[in-house]
Amino acid sequence: GGARYKDPRQPLNRRIEDLLARMTLAEKIGQMSQIERENATADVVRGYFVGSVLSGGGSVPAPQAPAEAWVEMVNEMQRAAMSTRLGIPMLYGIDAVHGHGNVYKATVFPHNVGLGCTRDPELVKKIGAATALEVRATGIPYVFAPCVAVCRDPRWGRCYESYSEDPRVVQQMTSSIIPGLQGEIPANGRRGAPFVAGQRNVAACSKHYVGDGGTTRGINENNTAASFHELLGVHMPPYYSAVIQGVSTVMVSFSSWNGVKMHANHFLVTDFLKNRLRFRGFVISDWRGLDKMTSPEHDDYITSVKLGILAAIDMVMIPYTYTEFIDDLTALVRNGTIPMSRIDDAVRRILRVKFTMGLFEDPYGDPSLAGELGKPEHRELAREAVRRSLVLLKNGKPGQKPLLPLPKKAGRILVAGSHADNLGYQCGGWTITWQGLGGNNLTAGTTILNGIKRAVQDHGTEVVYSESPDAGFVQRNKGRFDYAVVVVGEPPYAESFGDNLNLTIPEPGPSVIRVVCGGGIRCAVVLVSGRPLAVEPYVGAVDALVAAWLPGTEGEGVSDVLFGDYGFTGKLARTWFRSVEQLPMNVGDARYDPLFPFGFGLGLETQ
């Protein structure tokens, strides 16, 4: 029969060693190369023995491509990989960070900032499982998720990708989402080794190692100044959890620790993660992480390749200059700068993941899973997650009865604000495109406004929607509205585009709050944002204030709770500052004077 490595009954290490022994240097370096799908033709995948392909944010086979088109694209690349001499399957990866956000009509779950407020690990595990099914529906077996950053400063553009400022909350969610995505390690199974249960699960990637959420003033990709003790106490704990849960891969951070780029950090990647924590999966770079080691970028690429590979990155998200990467790494091995033992360690780790997840046995996407994409059960789960993520910050002015839960039976109500009827805004970044979009045509979902309309539709209540009502309108009509719901917040953003030093509510939000809430109509303000914003100036004027974070496609989860079908159970997983001058300010700090403290969240009197 065929070669030993092709026999799934052989012990894992026998398969790895048998295959490794057969591989040429070109085939080994090919396995370490991840390229972007735009340049992944069959000839390139085959000719360079490419081991992995990715979709960058928003990189899709076609606009609004259905699941079938994704499966066909992935399978075409896979056929090329399987046609190589040794037939090593390629691994396709994508950022499914709040559901399969790149894919049209996928279920978009709340971003991590909201999930942290649920404090519900079982819910998060189910979200992982549902996400895995929707990713597999497109023929993809690997996701660059979860982000396990411990965001310590909301000025960071990626703070919404972090479950919490508290490492224990991040650990709790990490320990749930990973078995959700990858499947649970059996009771008698080996913990701490890469694990993927089967073809309805995906390989996961805990990112970005390490300290990505601790940079100075939250400046993305910048420096995290911290003692080793602080790094271990604040930013490292989620990686203990991730390794124990059998995470298959770890992505290195663009950021630096005390001035040393993480992509060149041998002590943290090799000595600590691989040797101390005994991580046995593979370490992957971030996008052009080697190029970005220098300033200017790509300044001395071969040296960056040397430093990155020796630090012990195993797979490089190149993603375009693959010939240069392959040539440079080949030269570095040939001239003895990089020992073959380092290459073999990288390839062993990559093969361990591919064998463990059954990629050799099942290299192709399963078209029968297409129905999993955006299916009702997943949307119901997402709707429940939205409900559980909402945090009630204020309900009723002093001496007045609470405004929430809103009565469904009311003569006429006003819904206002930029985020009331905007599916793209409520999804945030990493949705359909890298940066996210505005409007209601980007994918399938329900806006907060439509959720409100559905909630009151059988109660004879008239809903008047005005995105930005002017003072005159309010004055002329103030006696005619029983109450108003004002939905405002941040537009979508991703990565450095979200870095923000003032954290004010972007206009026209404040104006709409002033005009409506200051105009004599009782108002509930719903804030759609990736993080706490400066709200102190408005709190007094509003009757109720709800943090909705970035809820995703299932906007009915917001109206479910506004109208009391469900109670408010969310608890802040991030300190809500009074002013940005206080930042960074986290639970446990000596100086702690928040507007709303970590763990805060009101319930409904009627709960």
Ligand X SMILES: OC[C@@H]1[C@@H](O)[C@H](O)[C@@H](O)c2nc(-c3ccccc3)cn21
Strand partners, 33: 316
Beta bridge mates, 71? none
Nearer to ligand X, 286 or 328 (CB): 286
Select 162 or 586, whichever has its Cβ closest to ligand X: 162
87: contact with ligand X by CB under 6 A: no
Strand ranges across the sheet with 282-284: 205-209, 249-252, 282-284
Among 286, 291, 543, 560, binds ligand X (CB under 6 A): 286
| 120 versus 495: smaller Cβ distance to ligand X | 495
560 binds ligand X (CB under 6 A): no
**Which one of the listed residues 286, 291, 314, 490 is annotated catalytic?**
286
Number of continuous H segments (helices) and E segments (strands) in the chain: 20, 17
Q: Closest approach of Cβ 147 to ligand X, in Å?
A: 7
| Residue (103 or 415) nearer to ligand X, CB | 103
Q: What is the CA radius of gyration of the chain?
A: 25
Contact 349, 13 (CB under 8 A): no
417 binds ligand X (CB under 6 A): no
**Rounded CA separation 260/118 (Å):** 35
Question: Which is nearer to ligand X, 313 or 448 (by Cβ)?
Answer: 313
State the sign of the Cα–Cα–Cα–Cα dihedral 10, 14, 20, 21. Answer: negative
Q: Where are the beta strands (DSSP E) in 236-300?
A: 249-252, 256-257, 260-261, 282-284
- C-beta of 286 vs 490, nearer to ligand X: 286
Tell me if residue 495 is catalytic: yes
Q: Which is nearer to ligand X, 132 or 390 (CB)?
A: 132
In sequence order, the 6+-apart residues with CB closer than 8 A to the CB of 231 are: 210, 211, 214, 224, 257
Tell me the closest approach of the beta carbon of residue 305 to ligand X, in angstroms.
19
Binds ligand X by CB under 6 A, chosen from 207, 235, 261, 388: 207
Q: Nearest approach, Cβ of 115 to ligand X (angstroms)?
A: 17
Residue 235 near residue 167 (C-beta atoms within 8 A): yes
What is the nearest approach in angstroms of ligand X to the Cβ of residue 144? 3
Site for ligand X in 91-120 (CB under 6 A): 95
Rounded distance between C-alpha atoms, residue 147 and residue 486, angstroms: 31
Order across the sheet with 412-416: list the strands: 391-395, 544-547, 523-528, 483-489, 412-416, 462-466
CA–CA dist 90, 82 (Å, integer): 8
144 binds ligand X (CB under 6 A): yes
Shortest Cβ 316–ligand X spacing (Å) = 12
CA–CA distances in Å: residue 317 to residues 42, 284, 297, 421, 445: 18, 7, 15, 37, 32
| Whether the Cβ atoms of residue 157 and residue 217 lie closer than 8 Å to each other | no
Closer CB to ligand X, residue 23 or residue 494?
494
Number of residues counted as binding ligand X (CB under 6 A): 8
Q: Which residue in the list 153, 495, 543, 554 is annotated as catalytic?
A: 495
Looking at the Cβ atoms of 254 and 481, the one nearer to ligand X is 254
With b for 16 or more beta-carbon neighbours within 10 A and e for fewer, the 220-247 pattern comes to bbbbbebeeeebbebbbbbbbbbbbbbb
By residue count, the chain amounts to: 607
56 binds ligand X (CB under 6 A): yes
Is 207 or 306 the residue whose CB approaches ligand X more closely? 207
Per rule CB under 6 A, is residue 287 in the interface with ligand X? yes
CB of 161 to ligand X, least distance (A): 8
3-state helix, strand, coil in the chain (%, to 5): 40, 15, 45
Task: Please state the closest distance from residue 39 (CB atom) to ligand X, in A.
Answer: 14
Question: What is the footprint of ligand X within residues 459-498 (CB under 6 A)?
Answer: 495
In the complex, least distance from residue 495 CB atom to ligand X, rounded to whole angstroms: 6
Pairwise CA distance, residues 442 & 103, whole Å: 10
Instruction: Mark out the alpha helices in 157-314 (DSSP H runs).
Output: 167-182, 228-230, 237-244, 266, 301-311
Cis peptide before 594 (omega within 30 of 0): no
Q: Which is nearer to ligand X, 57 or 451 (CB)?
A: 57
Active site residue 286: yes
Least separation in angstroms between CB 551 and ligand X: 21
Contact call for residues 183 and 190 (beta carbons, < 8 A): no
Give the one residue of 57, 101, 365, 601 binding ligand X; rule: CB under 6 A.
Answer: 57
Distance CA 210, CA 238 (A): 10
Q: Least distance in Å: CB of 25 to ligand X?
A: 27
Please give the Cα distance from 292 to 298 (Å, whole number).
6
Taking the CA of residue 490 as centre, how many other CA atoms within 13 Å lie in the half-sphere pointing to its CB?
30
Minimum CB distance to ligand X smaller for 207 or for 453:
207
152-191 footprint of ligand X as x/- string (CB under 6 A): ----------------------------------------
Residues 288-347 that bind ligand X (CB under 6 A): none
Residue 467 beta carbon to ligand X: minimum distance, rounded to whole angstroms: 32
Residue 599 near ligand X by CB under 6 A: no
Residue 587 CB partners (closer than 8 Å, separation 6+): 165, 166, 575, 597, 598, 599
CB of 101 to ligand X, least distance (A): 11
Judge if the upstream peptide bond of residue 398 is cis by omega within 30 degrees of 0: no
Please state, in angstroms and rounded to a whole number, the distance separating the CA atoms of residues 466 and 463: 10
Buried b (16+ CB within 10 A) or exposed e, 437-466: beebebbebbbbbbbbbebbeeeebebebb
Q: Which residues are catalytic?
A: 286, 495
List contacts with ligand X (CB under 6 A). 56-57, 95, 144, 207, 286-287, 495
